Every structure is written in C-alpha cells, then in structure tokens.
A and B are shown apart, each in its own frame.
Chain A
C-alpha cells in the first residue's frame, strides 16, 4: 500500500466515523510518512511501520483531541432525514400559505381596480342617460372601489416586502457554507 492509497483509505474511514478534525490527522500522518520516506524507507515500508489504516484509525479515535459529534446529534440528524417525507411537505405547505395569501391580495386589488374603472367610466355615461343623481351614486361607488383597490395594492406591496426579507433571513440562516 503506497502513501496516497493509505491516506485516501484513512480519510474514508475517518469520514465514516464522523471525525470533524480529520484533516489535522491526515496532515500529521502525511508528514510522518514523508519523514520516514526521507529517512530511506520505501512508501510501502513507511506505511507498514505506521501500522496500516486500522491501527492508525484506532489510535486516532482513542486520541484525546479527536472531535467526533455526540451520538445523539447524529441520531437526531438521521431521524430528521428519515422523517423528511413527513415534515417536508408540511413545511412546504406552510411556506406556500403566505405566498398564496399575497397572490390572493393581489387578485383582490386587481378586481377592485377593474370594478372601479368600469363603474367610473359607466358613471359618465349614466350622467347623460339617466341623470346626475344616479351618476353621483355610481361615481361614489367607483371612488370607493378605487380606494379599496389602492389599499389592497399597498397591502400586497407590504406583504411581498415582508416575504422578501423573510426569505433573505432564511437564506442567511441556512447558508452556512457561504455561497
């Protein structure tokens, strides 16, 4: 077994055991092997002198400075992943609710706007066809509609701003690797 194969094998095993500071040990053993090779041993002899992957692994795991996450944490994350089909869709539905609410508010704003403009145009026609009083009533109603349209539009703007900042917060919170 040459040095590269030994280090790769060791890396795989350390990953399997969830060792957080695996690179420290890999660096250490890489340098150690280099020293042995400099002192005249071949790569195979050096790896043999170190004791092979299994022995080194046992040494690392029993080392005082090794960082292995608590079993409960690993169990927790395993449970989280296994139960993803249950809570995933629920979480997604929960996330969809505000988005659909915002769409609903936008549609309300649009409906009020269209109704407002429609009755506004109609009120001018009513002035000549029926009379000023009926036109006044319709004009008043159209103003109410347009006012409600603007209010709903503002509600839409506010809600989408809130959703945007919430998404930004979520991105910052879960973007631990700093993409």
Chain B
C-alpha cells in the first residue's frame, strides 16, 4: 500500500476511522451527559500528555 499514490483502500480506511471516531466520541460524550464544563474543569490537564499549567 503506497501512501503517496491515490489509493481507494486508504481512503476507505480513513473514512472508516473518521466514522468510528465520531461514533466513539459521541457515545462517550453522551455517557458524560454532554457536560462541557466537566471536561473543561479539569483545567486543561486531561486532554494532553503533558501537564498544561495556564496559571489559573
């Protein structure tokens, strides 16, 4: 599979990844009751491998 040529298999793989990602994200988020503040109130520490101290 050459990534530097247009390849329908790779495109289908990408579309499957996007669909799976959207479904997974929506299911998880619905289980979090679509609570935005629950995510944000971690002070930004939850979403990245490094601790992000914004100073507030």
Contact = CB atoms under 8 A, between A and B. Distances in A.
B46 A147 contact: no
B24 A126 contact: no
A20 B30 CA distance: 80
Contact of B26 (A118, A126, A140): A140
- Contact size class for A? 20 to 34
A126 B5 CA distance: 36
A122 B14 contact: no
A94 interface: no
A130 B27 CA distance: 17
A144 B45 CA distance: 21
Interface stretch (A3-11, A22-30, A79-87, A131-139): A131-139
Contact of B46 (A130, A141, A142, A151): A130
A150 to B, nearest CB: 4
Interface string B7-51: 100110111111011111111110110000001001001111100
B56 interface: no
Nearest to A159: B6
Contacts of A136: 24-25, 27-28, 31
B interface: dominant SS: helix
Contacts of B22: 140, 144
Could you say which interface size class chain B belongs to?
Answer: 20 to 34
A118 B49 contact: yes
A142 B3 CA distance: 20
Given A118-B49, A121-B49, A126-B46, A141 B25 contact: yes
A129 interface: yes
A122 B18 contact: no
Interface string A117-131: 011011001100110
A148 B18 contact: yes
Contacts of B3: 153, 157
Given A137-B25, A151-B11, 4 more contacts: A139-B25, A140-B26, A144-B17, A147-B21
